Amino acid sequence: MKNSVMLLLCFTGIRPIISTHTCNDVNCYGSLIAQVYNEYNTAGILVASTTTHLLFQTLIYWHEISTTLSDQGIPTVMVNFAEFTERMEFYRRHPNRPFVVIILHRPGDLYFFSQITKSLPMNYVLWLILFIGDADKDACNFCRDPHENLLNLKFNSEVLIMCCNSNIIEDWWSVTRNGTNKGQLGRWIEERNEIEWFAHKSIHRRRTSLEGRAFRISFVQDSSYIWIKDGHLQGFLADVLRELAKSMNFTISTATVEDTYGILDPGTSIWRGVVGQLQRQATDIGVDGFSRTSARRSVIDFTVPIITVDSRLYIKKPDGTNVQWNAYFQAFTRTLWAVIIAVILIMPVFLTLIKYNRRFNFFPLIVEHYLHVWGIYCQQGLPEFPDGMPLRILYVSIFISALVVSSAYSASLTSFLAVSQLPFNTMEQFIKDGTYGLTAVYGSEDYNTFKFSNDTVLRQMMSFMKPKGSLPKSYFEGFSQACKERVAFYTHYEITKGREMYVMPCEMVSFKTGSNQLSGIILPLQSEYRTFINHHLQRFKTNGVIRRIAQKYNRNDEPPKTVHTPVHLRGIVPILGILIFGFIIASIIFLVERSFYSFRNKLRRRQMRKI
């Protein structure tokens, strides 16, 4: 009984709906609401009105409509305006979009509802507002000619309107905040109890103009995507923004430059940089390459990514004349060296077994064959070519293998010594090397990659980061640090080719650490323009506009001129060391042989004297 009384208190002021509106029966309104519900595929229906001058027949009328909708499997709830705000808070905690039907009869109803909408997210809900009343009423006059923005509409509000005694379904929204825009969506055909939609266009295709509204933008100093030159915006994102302004009909009023992308001060919990400007509503659009972080998502809205960059570690190119002692052994792998050594050790044994007979001593014969095989691999000939066919075949095979090994080694060694090798090729190797520091532009997306990451490798890399006070303030300063200090500069590859100002202060080498997608445009949280900007950006990606603009700013650098640097003494130290080592070994062997020869001669002379 209590629930029945509450329902009786929900709806009043709806007496004229049966007699004055074109849609004048239960099937009519039920079909109208059901068809809108099916067209927009919402979660459920919430019907709301005021609670004055309740008429019993009105309650019965809407109860029948609710029953009709429920019979069709459409969940329907009826509330009054006093409960409406609380009910909407319940829907905001759920991902499904609700469909709200508002019944307005008197000017007081309109004013009361306008006060409610000041605190409601008009863009989150699909609205169907039914103006019920005689043609001479103020509410109906407002419906025909809305003034200002009494319903607190936004650009992305989806509000369907049916005016008194009209069968036209209108679409209302607002561009300028102090006015109401409207267009026709469809017509209610009473004879067939159905809606004739004029065009099944999405909201993004219906609302194509912001009527020249001026926006304030912000971007980061020394950006490689947007900058100011001769008083004009230039760069990849500047051209994208111009295409966007042309498609959506807006203008740029001011452009401010910030030092950082967005840094959260842990002490004050205040955001700095472009993100901070958006959070404080000091700017309307942030334009640059912004990476998505959970902290930023809580204060700003990201548009779809339109920039894909390769993140790289840059270091100064190692001096190619400084040859490492182990460089001569790195031309071949350990497995290949093991095979070569095994061949040199085994082949003399086979040669000895083929030639050996009892007339020769085994040990001198195998030593002789070892010297022959070693000489072949050192590009030396034989004192005399053997007579036996088996020995000839085996020696020819050894000669061919030695020729192949020598040619391959020479080519591999030349390539290895001519091309500068990085001390590391992955971030794991960088950490293991431990001889380089790490630097990145403070407050940039590159710095935040390490600062806010939960990845184990990136957190280990962060331990190599220079102190905040020593970090570069610009990308050019970062490259300069990498040239002057033993540090690796972390940035994305687009930096090196996006602007003419980025001329490397020295010759550098780099390796790719990964790819990252960046949003070129960020907006204030719950921005009414986000879905429209995303729509146009996706269209630009599909029709090739983004690709065309990117090709314009992808700088094709001329290959650097080859400069042959002189080789200093320390550059040939390994070669000299090998020669000296070989000379010492040869001298030792020579002295041993001389001593052995002298000792043997003395021994023979003694034996002769005894005889």
Please tell me whether residue 403 adopts helix, strand or coil conformation: helix
| Angle, alpha carbons 116-205-38 (nearest 5°) | 65
Burial 140-172 (b: 16+ CB within 10 A, else e): bbbbeebeebebbbbbbbbbbbbbbebbebbbb
Listing DSSP states for 238-305 in one string gives HHHHHHHHHHHTEEEEEEEEES-S-EEETTTTEEEHHHHHHHTTS-SEEEEEE---HHHHTTEEE--E
Averaged pLDDT of the chain: 82
pLDDT for the residue 357: 66
Give residue-wise pLDDT tens across range 26-62.
Answer: 567 788 888 999 888 888 888 887 755 445 566 676 7
What DSSP designation does 233 have?
A: E
Question: Do residues 555 and 493 lie in contact, with contact meaning Cβ atoms separated by under 8 Å?
Answer: no
Both tokens of 552, joined, read 């314009």
The C-alpha atoms of residue 96 and residue 353 are separated, in whole angstroms, by 88
Ranges under pLDDT 70 in the chain: 1-27, 51-59, 61, 133-136, 319-327, 357-360, 416-421, 493-503, 555-572, 611
The C-alpha atoms of residue 255 and residue 271 are separated, in whole angstroms, by 19
The C-alpha atoms of residue 374 and residue 344 are separated, in whole angstroms, by 7
Residue type present at position 521: I
Listing DSSP states for 45-109 in one string gives EEEEE--SS--HHHHHHHHHHHHHHHHTT--EEEEEHHHHHHHHHHHHTSSSPPEEEEEE-SHHH
pLDDT for the residue 58: 61
Packing angle, helices 545-553 and 236-248, rounded to 10: 150
pLDDT for the residue 73: 85
Instruction: Name residue 183's beta-bridge partners.
Output: 171
Question: Do residues 497 and 281 lie in contact, with contact meaning Cβ atoms separated by under 8 Å?
Answer: no
Question: Do residues 461 and 438 lie in contact, with contact meaning Cβ atoms separated by under 8 Å?
Answer: yes
| Short-list 488, 502, 489, CA closest to 223 | 502
pLDDT for the residue 474: 80
pLDDT for the residue 117: 87
pLDDT for the residue 591: 87
H-only helix segments in 356-426: 362-377, 389-418
The C-alpha atoms of residue 28 and residue 267 are separated, in whole angstroms, by 60
Give the gyration radius of the chain's Cα atoms.
Answer: 42
